[in-house]
Structure 1
Amino acid sequence: MKRIIIKTIIIIFIIITLIITYFFMFYRSNQDVENVKVEGHVFDSNNSLPLNNVKVTIINERYKSDNGHINYDEYLGNDKIELITNDQGYYNTILRKSAYVYVILQKEGYKTYEEKGKYAKKLIVFKTYMNVK
């Protein structure tokens, strides 16, 4: 009888530990990351040369809204940052808070390209090859 009680206590302890670990990992992974650097290079897909003057639209999704509400089940905050690539096809910016980022690239004579989104971390890097229309 004592063995059954001890085994039951151990099993309950393991289950509680797993549940606590799950919720900790869920909460930890569903937070806005602060000071996220987003950078990238844009190239011509035909000759791999850098493309300058590409309009880069960075869409930033956040769990925290502009008025301070937080919901870890959905993105309440949304930022739209527009940049232009330099002569090396490079762009960068810093996002104060972020959970998910995607990028839309546009240039006259090229097909608009949307990068697959990425979950926020301290550095997000994109390398894009654009196709001529």
Structure 2
Amino acid sequence: MELSHGGFGWLPNLTEVDHSLILPFVMCICNILIVDINTASKKKATNMRKFLPYIFKSISIVLLPIAANVPGCLVLYWTTSSFCGLAQNLLLIQPRVRRALRIPQTPSESETPNRDLKEALMKTYLFKKEK
């Protein structure tokens, strides 16, 4: 009963579908960005690592119509979880954060993760050619 009164932002009733589709799209974008961050943070790309991002991005896109047809409370949970996963991934690629958490340096770890991530995203979404 509590979910049908009060709501969240533009969703006054969390037992109903989010007709604005904001939460399903935000969830999908967060999940795709998580895949991109993980792909960009790996230096060596084996055949399987080249193929898996497409599978995970496809799963994120398949989840979009599912998320558009379930109650808002569930999509809000999924979106919050995806956003927390995205934030966690962005934090854990930072060398200073990794050293503060006593995570040992790995061979695939970059000294300039932000620049590398920016270049990888630009190459992926703006179709820039590699140097």
TM-score, L = length of structure 1: 0.26
Structure having the higher Rg: 1
| TM-score with structure 2 setting the length | 0.26
**Structure with a larger share of its residues in helix:** 2
